[in-house]
Amino acid sequence: MKLEEISKIVENKIRDIKDFPKEGIVFKDITTLLNDGDAFSQLIDYLKQRYENQKIDYIVGIDARGFIFGSALAYTLKCGFVPIRKKGKLPSETISKTYDLEYGSDEVHIHKDAFLNNKNANVVLIDDLLATGGTAKASCELLNELNVNIVEACFILNLTFLGSDEERLKGINTFSVVNI
């Protein structure tokens, strides 16, 4: 399947919810994509095809919707899955990065031994949405600190009106299924 085809399928399955989580925001709801088994499996099959010849060791999913896409993709690629989580959600020793939000800050964590000391492991970072890029950038910084090779940061949706990929994730190869 070509990118144009899967982009159209995915875009047609995303529902807009106006004024969520607050007035003036148009939330891109992926649940309508997830509950369409055919569309969801076509998306995962497309991503498998994209990465299957790149010797990927781990898929890294960002809390929480990146877990959905990431675990399905890791299963199809027969590789490991590593979660990046919000503060206080991982049970073992972690490293963390803080990033700015519109009002305040947040932080993401990853287990120190997430890659079983496999330095230079090839990883794909995945999440549902690239918006301002704060969470993705902090996640990439964590991965760099653990000395893994970020093959690509993959997003199902990319809100391009919030900036270019290069501005938001300097030096990281990015791929998005749908650009809005």
Top CATH class, 54-179: alpha beta
Pick from 154, 70, 84: nearest CA to 114: 84
DSSP secondary-structure letter at 36?
-
Exposure string for 137-175, b = 16+ CB within 10 A, e = fewer: bbbbebbeebebebbbbbbbbbbeeeeebeebbeebebb
DSSP secondary-structure letter at 10?
H
Question: 148 near 115, Cβ under 8 Å?
Answer: yes
Tell me how far apart the alpha carbons of residues 63 and 25 are, in angstroms, rounded to a whole number: 21
Instruction: State yes or no: pLDDT of 111 exceeds 80.
Output: yes
Instruction: State yes or no: pLDDT of 104 exceeds 90.
Output: no
Instruction: State yes or no: pLDDT of 102 exceeds 70.
Output: no
Active site amino acids: 65, 102
Q: Residue 109: CB partners within 8 Å, gap ≥ 6?
A: 84, 85, 86, 87, 89, 90, 94, 95, 96, 142
Instruction: State yes or no: pLDDT of 27 exceeds 90.
Output: yes
Q: Can you give the pTM of this predicted structure?
A: 0.95
pLDDT tens figures, 146-165: 999 999 999 999 999 888 88
Query: What pLDDT is stored for residue 9 in this prediction?
Result: 98
Instruction: State yes or no: pLDDT of 54 exceeds 90.
Output: yes
